[in-house]
Amino acid sequence: EVQLQQSGPEVGRPGSSVKISCKASGYTFTDYVMNWVKQSPGQGLEWIGWIDPEYGSTDYAEKFKKKATLTADTSSNTAYIQLSSLTSEDTATYFCARGGGVMDAWGQGASVTVSS
Amino acid sequence: DVQMTQSPYNLAASPGESVSINCKASKSISKYLAWYQQKPGKANKLLIYDGSTLQSGIPSRFSGSGSGTDFTLTIRSLEPEDFGLYYCQQHNEYPFTFGSGTKLEIK
């Protein structure tokens, strides 16, 4: 069974950074790219970008190019998203989702709260 | 970016009824549209991709249609577990974009 297990809730101060993990199991990690998707409170879904774990190549939505950094560790089958220079606009739930344009498995989401 | 306009925003129906949710793209996305279900405490679920291809394990009461700019998700004979949020998403070009969501509630 494909599973994407995300790390727990994070609280970050304005201006700081947070890093969320997404541990994959049940499939060959390097066979699929991993997407990251943002959901602000009470809002819809925004695609942040994806990473190809096999090559480390990434693509980002323009809006997130200076905000998010995607990495992957093939030794632990884990994908990461780091969010930098946090502001209140970054308070949201962040999902990892397997696949290219078609996201066929999702993590449970990790909440990030930006608060001083 | 391709803007996805989803309607209706809210939808109330009874178990056993059929409902349709619409999604309109700001430009042609060929057939490349996916539908997802979101429910509290559960991972988001892929229902349909490529406009009309049913994801493995999804009941046949879910169906998708459309191409170009106009798409529809139809759920026939609603079951209690079908109530939740539904999102469309274009997977034709970067950046991938989602509709604003439709909340399907029990009447």
d(CA B53, CA A45): 22
Q: Is the pLDDT of residue A34 over 90?
A: yes
Contact between chains at B32 and A46 (C-beta distance less than 8 A): no
- In angstroms, the first-to-last Cα distance of chain B is 36
Q: What is the mean pLDDT of residues A34-45?
A: 94
Contact between chains at B97 and A47 (C-beta distance less than 8 A): yes
- Distance between alpha carbon A22 and the CA centroid of its chain, in Å? 7
Pairing type for strands A10-12 and A110-114 reads parallel
User: What's the pLDDT tens digit per position in A16-32?
Assistant: 999 999 999 999 999 99
Interface test with A, best of B7, B9, B44 (most A CBs within 10 A): B44
Q: What is the pLDDT along chain B (107 residues), one digit of tens a residue?
A: 999 999 999 999 999 999 999 999 999 999 999 999 999 999 999 999 999 999 999 999 999 999 999 999 999 999 999 999 999 999 999 999 999 999 999 88
Residue of B nearest to A43 (CA): B100
User: What's the pLDDT tens digit per position in A68-96?
Assistant: 999 999 999 999 999 999 999 999 999 99
Q: Is the pLDDT of residue A33 over 90?
A: yes
Residue A97 C-alpha, separation from nearest chain B C-alpha, in angstroms: 9
Which pLDDT score is estimated for A8?
Answer: 96
d(CA B7, CA A106): 24
d(CA A10, CA A19): 8
| Residue with tokens 């930006």, as numbered in its chain | A114
Q: If 0-12 CB within 10 Å is exposed, 13-18 middle and 19+ buried, where does residue A86 land?
A: buried
Which pLDDT score is estimated for B107?
Answer: 85
pLDDT confidence band for A43 (50 / 70 / 90): confident
Tell me, what amino acid is at A3? Q
How many cross-chain Cβ pairs, A to B, lie less than 8 Å apart? 50
